[in-house]
Amino acid sequence: MSASVNRLNKIHFMLTTFLALYFLLASKQALFAGGNLLIKNANILTVTNGVIPHGDVLVVNGIIKQVGQNLAAPPGTKIIEANGRYLIPGIIDTHTHIALSGTNEGTEAITPEVNMADVINADDPSIFTALTGGVTMVHTMHGSANPIGGINVVLKLKWGKPSEELIVKEAYPTLKFALGENVKQSNRTLLPGRPQRYPATRMGANAIIRRELLKARDYMAQWDRYNQLKNSKNPPKNLLPPRRNLRLETLADLLRGKLIARCHAYVATEMIEFLNLAKEFGFKIGAFEHAWEAYKITDELLKAGVGISVFIDSWAYKMEAAEGIAYNAAYCTKRGILVSINSDSGERIRRLFNEAGKAVKYGLTQDEAIKLITINAAKQLGVDHLVGSIEVGKQADLALFSEHPMSAYTRCDMTIIEGEVYFDRDQLLKEREAASTKKGGI
């Protein structure tokens, strides 16, 4: 490719990026409805209570107040005419890395002291990209460079709000673990003179996790002994507390049940090893991430009560994914495992409904498929009492689609979080048209 073509490509990229950011910033203005809405004449896919044709949803102060037909709007309520379009719960992505200014602390193998809540980037354009696909909530995670990574965070995609207002405090607090190729840095080329980081094998990954959990168990015992003596009738005068260790404090919280493990893993044998570690140390696993060979160990997963968060059909892209199958999500669902579909991407996140729709090809019904990105995801994150279905009393996180969300021809027209409209396709197109006809352009 010639240098002039390269320059043209760079100019095109910069102009496209500038235009995108302009419209994203413009879209932050004047979309809000004060948390009070009446959505009329929609095909409502409640997810948990069937379909309501020509239905209405009344939202008051960000909460679903009524679901039915021919509902009346209180004075001052914004009315949205659905005209037969499809209304679903807001889509939930259980594994992504958007809205962060850092993902991997890969300089060391063990880094549970880091916290994704400390590096939220509320201005990440990927937030708006996700909204255009009906996504309202994400589990944004530490990366998979470490056997033990950092603490993850669950966010609502309230575009234009400060980072503190994005955090979903009711969600499960989770800690990232990882196994396999990423951890042992299989595809990394070492610089001259730079040593290989431990672990470099799968057995090493399992061993280093056990080593750190043993340290954490001893650390807990030291503090338990100290607190027992401190609270005794005659505490020793020279009693000193153990030295604080931020890494071990996080792992101690895992062992105490205050954190739930989420483990990046592909290979069945590795997942079995991690299940054994959980049994040995008594901690809870929320889900395996990617889990391409989960179909081989459904009995073990069911017995342990562990779910999976997976791609639908993006397998065989590296050696440890070679034995993945496109029927993985559907088969595990049929076996009774709690399954969600994730994006692990700032681009795929805008079409998670398409990914769920593919599950119909592989054996699920439309009703089962939509659960993979709504109520199942909410259950995995511990927020199914708040979101994941359209029910009275739940938060009004909703997405309005032009056709059935499992259709290949549908698109998201509107995304609502707690009764506020954060994405309106029609309004955005009008703003774009107005900007293009404005004298002097933008």
Would you say residue 195 has pLDDT above 70?
A: yes
Which stretch of 35-39, 257-261, 318-322, 434-438 has the lowest confidence by average pLDDT?
434-438
155 contacts 372 by C-beta, under 8 angstroms = no
Mean pLDDT within 213-230: 97
pLDDT at 1: 46
Could you give the CA distance from residue 373 to residue 412 in angstroms, rounded to a whole number?
14
Mean pLDDT over the full length of the chain: 92
pLDDT tens-digit series, residues 246-267: 999 999 999 999 999 999 999 9
| Closest to 404 in 3D by CA, of 431, 377, 365 | 365
- Grade residue 438 by pLDDT with cuts at 50, 70 and 90: confident
Where does the pLDDT of residue 5 fall: very low under 50, low under 70, confident under 90, or very high at 90 and above?
very low
| Average pLDDT, integer, range 149-154 | 98
| d(C-alpha 267, C-alpha 58), whole Å | 46
Count CB-CB contacts under 10 A for residue 141.
Answer: 28
Q: Give the DSSP letter string of 130-177.
A: HHTTTEEEEEE---SSSSEEEE-EEEE--TTS-GGGTB-TTSPPEEEE
Domain spanning 91-387: CATH superfamily: Metal-dependent hydrolases (3.20.20.140)
CA atoms within 13 A on the CB side of 306: 29
Q: Which of 142, 136, 141, 143 is closest to 166 using CA atoms?
A: 136
If one counts every other C-beta atom within 10 angstroms of the C-beta of residue 17, the result is 11
The domain ranges of the chain are: 31-89+389-442, 91-387
Residue 98 clears pLDDT 50, i.e. is over it: yes
pLDDT at 437: 83
- 276-297 mean pLDDT: 98
Among 249-263, 309-323, 344-358, 368-382, the minimum mean pLDDT is found in 309-323
CATH number for 31-89+389-442 (one of 2.102.10.10, 2.60.120.200, 1.10.760.10, 2.30.40.10): it is 2.30.40.10
pTM beyond 0.75: the answer is yes
What is the pLDDT, as a whole number, of residue 111? Answer: 97
Q: Residue 299 has which token pair? A: 């009995």
DSSP tally for the chain: helices H, then strands E: 11, 17
Query: Which of 144-169 are b and which e, b meaning 16 or more Cβ less than 10 Å from the residue's Cβ?
Result: bbbbbbbbbbbbbbbbbbebeebebe
pLDDT at 272: 98
98-133 burial, b at 16+ Cβ within 10 Å, e below that, comes to bbbeebbbbeebbbbbbebbebbbbbbbbbbbbbbb
* Cα 393 to Cα 102: distance, rounded to the nearest angstrom: 36
User: Minimal CA–CA distance to 387: which of 89, 20, 17?
Assistant: 89
What was the pLDDT predicted at 309?
98
CB-based burial, 281-294: b 16+ in 10 Å, e otherwise: bebebbbbbbbbbb
Render pLDDT for 319-340 as a digit per residue (tens, 0 to 9): 999 999 999 999 999 999 999 9
The dihedrals phi and psi of 267, each to the nearest 5 degrees, come to -90, 140
| 265-271: average pLDDT | 97
